[in-house]
Chain A
Amino acid sequence: DAGVTQSPTHLIKTRGQQVTLRCSPKSGHDTVSWYQQALGQGPQFIFQYYEEEERQRGNFPDRFSGHQFPNYSSELNVNALLLGDSALYLCASSSGTAYYGYTFGSGTRLTVV
Chain B
Amino acid sequence: GENVEQHPSTLSVQEGDSAVIKCTYSDSASNYFPWYKQELGKGPQLIIDIRSNVGEKKDQRIAVTLNKTAKHFSLHITETQPEDSAVYFCAASKRSQGNLIFGKGTKLSVKP
Contact = CB atoms under 8 A, between A and B. Distances in A.
Interface of A: 4, 31, 33, 40-45, 48, 50, 55-56, 58, 90, 92, 97, 99-100, 102-107
B104 A58 contact: no
Given A33-B98, A99-B93, A100-B34, A43 B104 contact: no
A100 B32 contact: yes
A100 B43 contact: no
A43 to B, nearest CB: 5
B43 A107 contact: yes
B61 interface: no
A31 B100 CA distance: 14
The 5 closest A-B pairs by CB, nearest first: A42-B102, A104-B43, A45-B99, A106-B43, A104-B44
A106 B44 CA distance: 8
30 contacts: A4-B43, A31-B98, A33-B99, A41-B105, A42-B103, A42-B104, A42-B105, A43-B44, A43-B89, A43-B100, A45-B101, A48-B98, A48-B99, A55-B98, A56-B98, A58-B99, A90-B43, A92-B100, A99-B32, A99-B94, A99-B95, A99-B98, A99-B99, A100-B51, A102-B46, A104-B44, A104-B45, A106-B41, A107-B42, A107-B43
B97 A99 contact: yes
**Residue of B4, B44, B46, B105 with most chain A CB atoms under a 10 A cut-off:** B44
A58 B99 CA distance: 9
Given A58-B99, A90-B43, 17 more contacts: A42-B91, A42-B103, A43-B89, A44-B102, A45-B99, A56-B99, A99-B93, A99-B95, A99-B99, A100-B32, A100-B49, A102-B34, A102-B46, A104-B44, A106-B41, A106-B43, A107-B43
